Amino acid sequence: MEEARIAFPVGKGQVNRVEDVKTVQQLLNSRSNGTLSVDGIVGIRTQTAITHFQRQIVGMHSPDGIVSPNGPTLRKLNHLHIRRPATSQPSFSSDSGDSVSEELYLNAARELNCEVAAIKAVVMTETALRSAFISPGKPKILYERHYFRRLTQGRYDHSYPEISGERYKQYGSHELQYERLEKAMALDRQAALMSVSWGAFQIMGANYRSAGFNELEDFVSAMKNTNGQVFAFINHIKNTPTLRTALQNKDWTTFAKLYNGKKYAERNYHIKMANNYHSLTSRQ
């Protein structure tokens, strides 16, 4: 089983990158039957869970409440992580087409207790409701070099600036995304796959655990068909309660902030989702 990794320290007063916090919350939940919300926020409950784990499990006499990338707390969390039985993908249908079918949308909406139009607004913003694939079994992706930089602590910034550095201003063609991914995989396969957003919903590989997978490679394999992509989206939303509530309430600002990152406003994700939802519902 692959070890969970974080790029920066998690805890009170630390960097607390959302994806790092979620990873720590998920690991802590494996020890406490899911009592923490996997929301990427270091609140009182998360702080308490960290210090309790450090005192009771790691054996620290004076817990510092910080989970460091190479520290004893993360090592112990990984060591004790109980591997849950792999969650099977639901058989909503035999659909494996190149875009999400109406049946899959309906089932996802029922699972998430939200409107079909709300889910479609997300997909319309991410991939324009077009094919989720560039060829059969090859999903649309975006390679995010700023993610790769974080996950590899910037050690490839100077030698491979085209795949490790600041966020891209322009992403380029679908083929270019795969070229970048292949270069990154040659350096660090896991970090590379985690640095890509996948399929119709553009779910980051870094979110594979919240998307319902024990292994990153299983998540990547699931992205090769629409059933797998919908399964991942449902789980990711369910396992992030604040995202689920935002989707149900069509609170696009909150949703975009959590789903697309803190710089969501630079690309107007919240506005695009709101406009797409309005466009979809006005046709009804």
Does 23 share its domain with 106? Answer: no
pLDDT at 87 over 90: no
Tens digit of pLDDT for each residue in 36-80?
788 889 999 899 999 988 988 888 889 999 999 989 999 999 887
Assess if residue 114 is contained within a domain: yes
Instruction: Name the token pair of 171.
Output: 């992403």
Q: Rounded to two decimals, what is the model's pTM?
A: 0.69
- Mark which of 46, 80, 114 sits at the end of a domain: 80
At residue 134, φ and ψ (nearest 5 deg) are -95, -15
Query: Domain total for the chain?
Result: 2
Does 130 share its domain with 259? Answer: yes
Tens digit of pLDDT for each residue in 150-166?
999 999 999 999 999 99
Q: How far apart are CA 8 and CA 18, in angstroms?
A: 10
Tens digit of pLDDT for each residue in 207-259?
999 998 888 998 999 999 998 999 999 999 998 999 999 999 999 999 999 99
Q: How far apart are CA 179 and CA 163, in angstroms?
A: 10
Range of the domain at 43: 10-80
Could you tell me the pLDDT band of residue 32, with boundaries at 50, 70 and 90?
A: low
pLDDT value at residue 97: 59
- Mark which of 80, 112, 135 sits at the end of a domain: 80
Provide, rounded to the nearest whole percent, the portion of the chain with pLDDT above 90. 65
Could you tell me the pLDDT band of residue 84, with boundaries at 50, 70 and 90?
A: very low
Q: How far apart are CA 165 and CA 149, in angstroms?
A: 6
Assess if residue 96 is contained within a domain: no
Does 243 share its domain with 275? Answer: yes
Assess if residue 92 is contained within a domain: no
Q: Under 8 Å CB-to-CB from 232, ≥6 apart: which residues?
A: 198, 199, 201, 203, 208, 211, 212, 213, 219, 222, 223
Whole-angstrom CA distances from 70 to 7, 81, 147, 226 are 9, 16, 18, 36
Assess if residue 152 is contained within a domain: yes
Could you tell me the pLDDT band of residue 89, with boundaries at 50, 70 and 90?
A: very low
Q: What type of residue is 146?
A: H
Tokens 């649309």 sit at which residue? 140
